[in-house]
Chain A
């Protein structure tokens, strides 16, 4: 049965269906209705979970780290500056290999203060060692939360489920909540290898020597560098797990798609627009218009940003003439972070497609369909590559 609800409520239902045991969150726009819904679920007895109100986002994630270490399935959610306030704990959760899931309801970051959507919050946390998944609609939000726990608990790495503030969090859309018994079958109980247990006292993540050492049992215990290396290789191997979880999900629930990409009219495309989040659905309308004008163009959203699905990107984009990367974030002082990643992934291709970069929609700046159409038309019809630097869409500079 389909329901019509907001993106935040879709996320909350995904959390409930995942039988999360500990929720700790601090409200921040536009994530607030998600945490409100979860506290309603817990208070009304619909969720058998502990809801721990905290005084900050730093504490929210610290509570989840403790809960997950003790063997509980833990959830938190935040946006923008709240995510930045968690920064230290983000690195900690990944280094401690705790399968926490967090919704990041994407919003621009201050200063200057903004509450509207862009992707700078999540993109700036790219290198924390978390897996980052992006959703394009409400069905993907609820499904991705459930899949995120399956992925996180298989590889012991925390997962961010990112979706656009307001554009998805506060809009209403029909979606189909998965059946509870099917979710239970898809997502078994969380049972960590080393849960905190007073009967077997141990230290977790204390000062870890730079070199390996024999532990009390005489086994070799890893040093800092081995632990960090293993996090990296497991993140790379998580690409296979993401694929497998997508297949399992498809088998159980009968829906799903490409595990890494969200392609539209790409099969015979000479040019492909690439982006993160709900913008790829906006671009579908533009693609339809340009197709009518005779331009063989498609659009491809990225569902996974970290680990970066470089092989899938290369395979999918290798025979196109051009890629046009739209980004609601920027690596300040250089170019779009996604643009840099895609260029790196395409480096091994001969011939290489041209790759253009457009920065748009920062701090909720309205993205108009005609702007997207003009930018794509310009990129597809200009044979000469522009200067290798991002161009800005919808910018109104006073001269």
Chain B
């Protein structure tokens, strides 16, 4: 049995975004970063990154500015809770749904 053939016969996943499956449409609150307050964005320096450190799903990047992968973000609110400058607010998904319409 070749490696590729075998891969479709077992349930096997590697660490990284996506292998746990997509979040889908069930997230209630979406974290949004205010770049006027966010430390690395404001100073243009690789500093803070508390949100990146705490995100349990690893969907926040360690970049300037930090970005959030909403495909996999579960909306757990930990980043907003931990941000030392309150740069992250949780916004109702319905707001974005209305915008899209």
Q: Is B one of A's binding partners?
A: yes
Of all chain B residues, the one with the shortest Cβ separation from A157 is B9
Q: Which 9 A-B pairs have the closest CB atoms?
A: A216-B16, A193-B6, A208-B11, A203-B13, A209-B21, A205-B11, A230-B9, A193-B3, A202-B14
Q: Are A201 and B15 in contact (CB under 8 A)?
A: yes
Q: Are A234 and B19 in contact (CB under 8 A)?
A: no
Q: Are B11 and A206 in contact (CB under 8 A)?
A: yes
How does the 8 Å CB contact mask read for B1-42 relative to A, with 1 for contact and 0 for none? 111001111111111111101100000000000000000000
Residue A156 at the chain B interface, CB threshold 8 Å:
yes
A interface residue numbers (CB < 8 A to B)? 95-97, 154-156, 193-194, 200-206, 208-209, 213-217, 219, 221-222, 224, 226-227, 230-231, 234
Q: Are B14 and A216 in contact (CB under 8 A)?
A: yes
Find chain A residues with CB under 8 A from B14 CB: 200-203, 215-217
Q: Are B7 and A206 in contact (CB under 8 A)?
A: no
Q: Are B12 and A203 in contact (CB under 8 A)?
A: yes
Number of A-B contacts (CB under 8 A): 79
Find chain B residues with CB under 8 A from A193 CB: 1-3, 6-7
Would you call the interface of chain A mostly helix, strand, loop, or mixed? loop
Q: Are A221 and B1 in contact (CB under 8 A)?
A: no
Q: Are B11 and A234 in contact (CB under 8 A)?
A: no
Q: Are A213 and B11 in contact (CB under 8 A)?
A: no
Q: Are A226 and B10 in contact (CB under 8 A)?
A: no
Q: How far is the CB of B39 from chain A (nearest CB, A)?
A: 30
How does the 8 Å CB contact mask read for B56-98 relative to A, with 1 for contact and 0 for none? 0000000000000000000000000000000000000000000
Of all chain A residues, the one with the shortest Cβ separation from B4 is A219
Interface contacts beyond A205-B12, A217-B14: sample of 4 additional A-B pairs, CB < 8 Å, sorted by A: A156-B9, A206-B11, A206-B13, A213-B22
Find chain B residues with CB under 8 A from A226 CB: 8
Q: A213-B18, A215-B19, A216-B18 are in contact. Are A156 and B11 (CB under 8 A)?
A: no
Find chain A residues with CB under 8 A from B8 CB: 222, 226-227, 230
Q: A203-B12, A215-B13 are in contact. Are A221 and B6 (CB under 8 A)?
A: no
Find chain B residues with CB under 8 A from A222 CB: 8-9, 11
Of all chain B residues, the one with the shortest Cβ separation from A193 is B6
Q: A215 contacts which of B3, B9, B18 (Cβ < 8 Å)?
A: B18
Find chain B residues with CB under 8 A from A156 CB: 1, 6, 9
Find chain A residues with CB under 8 A from B9 CB: 97, 156, 222, 227, 230-231, 234
Of all chain B residues, the one with the shortest Cβ separation from A203 is B13
Q: How far is the CB of B3 from chain A (nearest CB, A)?
A: 5
User: What are 25 contact pairs spanning A and B, CB under 8 A?
Assistant: A96-B10, A154-B1, A155-B1, A193-B1, A193-B6, A202-B14, A203-B15, A203-B19, A204-B10, A204-B11, A204-B12, A205-B10, A205-B11, A206-B13, A209-B21, A214-B18, A215-B14, A215-B18, A215-B19, A216-B13, A216-B14, A221-B11, A221-B12, A227-B11, A234-B9
